[in-house]
Amino acid sequence: MKTYDVIVVGAGPGGYVAAIRAAQLGMNTVLIEKAKLGGMCLNWGCVPARRLMESARAYSQVLGASAFGVEGFSSDSVRFNWKKAVGEKERIVGKLVKGIEFLLKKNKVQVISGEARLLRGHDVQVAGEVLTAGHIIIATGSRPDRAPLATLPANLVVEVDELFSRTDVPEKLVIAGGDTVACETASMLSLIRRRVTVAAPEERLMPWMDESLSRFVADKFKKSGIRVITGVRITSSQGGISVGDEIVEADAVVNCSRRTAILPPMEDTPLDLRDGFVEINEFMQTSVPSVYAIGDVTGRIFAHVASAQGVCAVHHIAGLREPVDYLRMPVTLYMEPEIGAVGFTEEELKQRGIEYVKGEFPMTASSKALIEGNTEGFVKILADQKYGEVLGVHVVASHAADLIGEAAMCMRTEGTLDDLIRVVHAHPTVSETFREAGFKASGKPLHM
């Protein structure tokens, strides 16, 4: 029986980061992966989706090039080559996977290919042998729940990761789900001129986000020709797809339903679950103290959160106690335009009875946004009324996923409106809208 300090099960953005960090801290570490290094995020999820969105954006921008004085392009002369876009996506994924292989080798992390079975709180079986360790970290990810589509013929349902690997895309699609992946996928497919219907089980898209962001997405979809039907289930029908009480003509249904945890086989390791996800404490420990869980299996469905949880778990094993600060963890949507958010929503502040001030600056008033032709969106800042501490920032803009990092840094250092408006940004830039929204929240707007 081989003995290690740490066994990490799953090599996604949580698992491989945890393994590298453990090795950096002097722990004898082994990483077990049954499929591909990089996990869902790198191979079938985040990275492929983002690359295909960039391809779709490029196509849309070419069709709109006449607004910038570039003529000769039209929908008749320009076509989108999905097969080639997928090939370019595969090239990028392959390069990133090799990068992870290099980092694991550099940090002396042993990698074993195979499915892990947890035998006890310290033992794992893989590839016909049993490994033991002082600590085990589960990072096995999640997948879209297939149950909401159980009544549909199997040949009509396309898993979202399968969609990103196909050599063609049907013309008419129903997107099952109303959360992040569903909205991103709908936006991307719309840009390449597919007919898209979003069927969301909740009464509004992304109900956990600030209401202003959910409303923007719904309005944007309507303008883009994406049909949104909320509060419905999808069932089969002879005349098409039954979405609630309506019949929708579609070639396929893309499964972007709420995700469910992928748990490794377990024997004599009774982990407590909540709503199908592994229950953890503030340091990622499960109900079995020697076993930690990070990433999607804990119900936190974002790659960067998984990485932060992985570092937190390893640090706790090393004797460092620093919980993950979820409040100051940014959330992003890679659609057109992008969305970024961090901190409290307005609804949460009202529920907690926190008195706050709000500053909102529209992208239509941003010179850089006008220059780029990307004037959809806004920056909204929520701050404590008494002390001015920034409590939440919500952004809809081109490159909002990058811009939100500045807001996260501000909140991480407990920055105030005064701190925010004292930061001078280059002009013209989209980032200077943070300062303008800060002035608005303080009651003294400069450019409004």
pLDDT for position 267: 86
Q: Looking at the DSSP assignment, which residues form a beta bridge with residue 261?
A: 142
Report the distance separating Cα 282 and Cα 286, nearest Å. Answer: 10
Report the distance separating Cα 429 and Cα 368, nearest Å. Answer: 5
Report the distance separating Cα 190 and Cα 52, nearest Å. Answer: 12
Nearest to 433 by CA among 387, 392, 377, 388: 377
Q: Looking at the DSSP assignment, which residues form a beta bridge with residue 291?
A: 136
Which CATH number applies to 2-143+260-324: 3.40.50.720, 3.80.10.10, 3.40.50.620, 3.50.50.60?
3.50.50.60
pLDDT for position 248: 93
Average pLDDT over every residue of 113-131:
94
Architecture of domain 146-257: 3-Layer(bba) Sandwich (3.50)
Mind giving me the DSSP string for 188-229?
HHHHTT-EEEEEESSSSSSTTS-HHHHHHHHHHHHHHT-EEE
For the stretch 231-251, pLDDT in tens is 999 988 777 899 988 999 999
Report the distance separating Cα 391 and Cα 346, nearest Å. Answer: 10
Q: Is 427 a catalytic residue?
A: yes
Q: Active site residue: 304, 316, 425, 427, which one?
A: 427
Instruction: Give yes or no for residue 404 having a pLDDT over 90.
Output: yes
For the stretch 18-54, pLDDT in tens is 999 999 999 999 999 999 999 999 999 999 999 999 9
Report the distance separating Cα 304 and Cα 295, nearest Å. Answer: 9
pLDDT for position 446: 84
Ordered by start, the domain boundaries in the chain are 2-143+260-324, 146-257, 329-441
Domains 2-143+260-324 and 146-257 agree in fold? yes
pLDDT for position 126: 96
Helix (H, G, I), strand (E, B) or coil at 429: coil
Neighbour-count burial of 50, counting CB atoms closer than 10 A to its CB (0-12 exposed, 13-18 middle, 19+ buried): middle
Domain 329-441, classified CATH 3.50.50.60, yes or no: no
Average pLDDT over every residue of 309-327:
97
Nearest to 294 by CA among 280, 274, 276: 280
For the stretch 327-369, pLDDT in tens is 999 999 999 999 999 999 999 999 999 999 999 999 999 999 9
Q: Looking at the DSSP assignment, which residues form a beta bridge with residue 159?
A: 255
Q: Looking at the DSSP assignment, which residues form a beta bridge with residue 129?
A: 126
Mind giving me the DSSP string for 313-352?
HHHHHTT------GGG--EEE-SSSEEEEEE--HHHHHHT
Mind giving me the DSSP string for 231-295?
S--EEEETTEEEETTEEE--SEEEE-PPEEE-PPPBSS----EETTEE---TTSB-SSTTEEE-G
For the stretch 193-215, pLDDT in tens is 999 999 999 999 999 999 999 99
Average pLDDT over every residue of 377-406:
97
Report the distance separating Cα 191 and Cα 70, nearest Å. Answer: 20
For the stretch 409-430, pLDDT in tens is 999 999 999 999 999 999 999 9
Nearest to 358 by CA among 346, 348, 366: 346
Q: Cα torsion at 330, 276, 253, 227 (round to 10°)? A: -50
Percent of the chain's residues with pLDDT above 90? 91
The answer, as to whether pTM is greater than 0.85, is yes
Residues in Cβ contact with 305 at an 8 Å cutoff, skipping those fewer than 6 apart: 295, 324, 326, 329
Helix (H, G, I), strand (E, B) or coil at 40: helix
Nearest to 156 by CA among 249, 225, 233, 83: 249
Average pLDDT over every residue of 156-182:
94
